[in-house]
Structure 1
Amino acid sequence: MLREDGQEKYLFFDPHVYNILMHEIPNKEISHLSKLVQETKGNDWVEKLAKIGELNEKGHISQDEFNRLKAEILKSIS
């Protein structure tokens, strides 16, 4: 839940995206991401995180490559 201009707003994520956000990203980054969600108009970065998470889960990219790509995505939205 977010508060904006005194109104409550809710964000809903695809279950796969939620899984990535909750399991692939360390907890300290979750609080940073929640702030970014409030400031971000679109969710293109969420889709990118979901895609690289899927590639990592399937073994198409290594954990190191996933971490590098994730850092690039997060840097591009901050």
Structure 2
Amino acid sequence: MKISILFFGMARDLVDNSSLEIKLPSKSTVASFKEFLSNEFPELQKMSSYAVAINQNYATDETLIQENDIIAIIPPVSGG
């Protein structure tokens, strides 16, 4: 299945791209997607953690990814 990935902040810098389209196996979860990202973009491991949003909603590791989903990789943010 085809999905779009949007990278923000430090994630964008680490993969040197702001967006990509990729293919994943059907019935992929956020956890398996994170494993894919770690293998494809080892530089992402420099982030201590990151959030994943699917179609503008935060997702858990168990969330199933669907065809044509837009997945955002959101690094940790701090404020003051």
TM-score for both structures, normalised by structure 1: 0.32
Higher helix fraction: Structure 1 or Structure 2? Answer: 1
TM-score for both structures, normalised by structure 2: 0.31
Structure showing greater relative contact order (alpha-carbon pairs closer than 8 Å, 6 or more residues apart): 2
